[in-house]
Structure 1
Amino acid sequence: MSEKEILLTVEGHRKTEEELELLKTVKRQEVAARIKEAIAFGDISENSEYDEAKNEQAKLEERIAKLEATLRKARIISEDEISLDVVNIGSTVKVFDVEFDEEIEYTIVGSAEADPYELKISNESPVGMALIGSKVGETVEVHAPQGLMQYKVLEISRR
């Protein structure tokens, strides 16, 4: 079975590479130093500092493996693939939320770089799926857990 392709914007790819580099260089050394320090305390069988440092090391290695897998499976969405005619991955779309009578600007990204706090929504989310393929002037309906929402597409751009 082939691995599922992970879609990343150029920015998302860059951030993933930067995080991976930080973890492999700086964070690995910090954890190794903590383990060495904890071993210096003596008996490691009842050494909570050692146990904590080893757990941190395991989490760090798991995150490194996840980032490496993401980069291996990544397909980078280049700027010239981002249309200004229809919403797609990489698009920044300004919408009017009919229910709340407000404008919101979302960036549609692959699920690996989604961050709702930065208004980066996944193409696999209910809002992302509804917006993909829409054009300026269209109103889309989103069937979300909190009910039916309507967004009017006001503008499509690239970041």
Structure 2
Amino acid sequence: MEKVPMTQAGFVALGEELKKRQSEDRPRIIEHIAEARSHGDLSENAEYHAAKEEQSHNEGRIAELEDKLARADIIDISKLSGDTIKFGATVTLVDEDTEKKTVWQIVGEVEADAKKGRISITSPLARALIGKKKGASVEVNTPGGAKAYEITKVEWR
């Protein structure tokens, strides 16, 4: 069974999503199915089919969350330190062309969210950063072409 690396915050967030899907979404969907079923002929009942589809999606996500939580390898970032980038590091980068500064935390695949500044350990940028130190330059192949960044800060938070 392959472990799924994640931060404590990622583990908690997945647990909360699982609890909500089991205790709130599941009963609500069952109610929708029962209500739609009461409308008669199921063969042409779009409301019934939509509710069944939602149930299938929800149950699939519940199974996925249970699996990921069971295989979680929680990495305590507060115990990490040093200036070498690894899982859990929060890294400040400056684009060498535009001077634009970005901050990314390297996390597990299940908790990656670019809008929240979290990138997956398996992403091209994270793979380029792993093992590097503050002051180093990295080049990353992006869909828009090669990008060069200078690492200006490595933090553990």
Q: Secondary structure at the match of 1:150?
A: strand
Amino acid at match of 1:156: V
Secondary structure in structure 2 of the residue aligned to 1:8 = strand
Q: 1:59 aligns with which of 54, 57, 60?
A: 57
CA offset at residue 32 of structure 1? 0.7
Aligned counterparts of 1:40 and 1:143: Cα–Cα separation in 2: 56
* Counterpart position of 1:109: 107
TM-score calculated relative to the size of structure 1:
0.93
Alpha-carbon distance between aligned partners in 2 of 1:117 and 1:84, rounded to the nearest angstrom: 26
- In structure 2, the residue matched to 1:34 is 32
Residue 154 (structure 1) aligned with residue 152 (structure 2):
yes
1:78 maps to 2:79: no
Alpha-carbon distance in structure 2 between the residues aligned to 1:37 and 1:19 = 25
Mapped contact 1:111–1:124 kept (Cα < 8 A): yes
Task: Tell me the secondary structure at the aligned position of residue 49 of structure 2.
Answer: helix
Given that residues 82 and 89 in structure 1 are in contact (C-alpha distance below 8 angstroms), is that contact kept between their aligned partners in structure 2?
Answer: no
**1:44 positional shift:** 1.6
| Cα offset, 1:142, TM superposition | 1.3
1:84-123 alignment, distance < 5 Å? 84-123=82-121
Could you list the runs of 4 or more consecutive aligned residues of structure 1 that deviate by over 2 angstroms after TM superposition? 79-84, 143-146
Contact 1:86 1:135 survives alignment (8 Å): yes
Identity of aligned residues (%): 38
Q: Equivalent residues in 2 for 1:10-25 (5 A)?
A: 10-25=8-23
8 Å Cα contact 2:106/2:118 also seen in 1: yes
Q: CA RMSD in A?
A: 1.3
| Alignment match, 2:44 | 46
Per the normalisation by structure 2, the TM-score is 0.94
C-alpha displacement of 1:83: 2.4
Q: For structure 1, list consecutive stretches of 5 or more residues without a partner in the other structure.
A: none
Does structure 1 conserve the Cα–Cα contact (< 8 Å) formed by 2:78 and 2:156? no
Aligned length: 157
3-state SS of paired residue (1:27) = helix
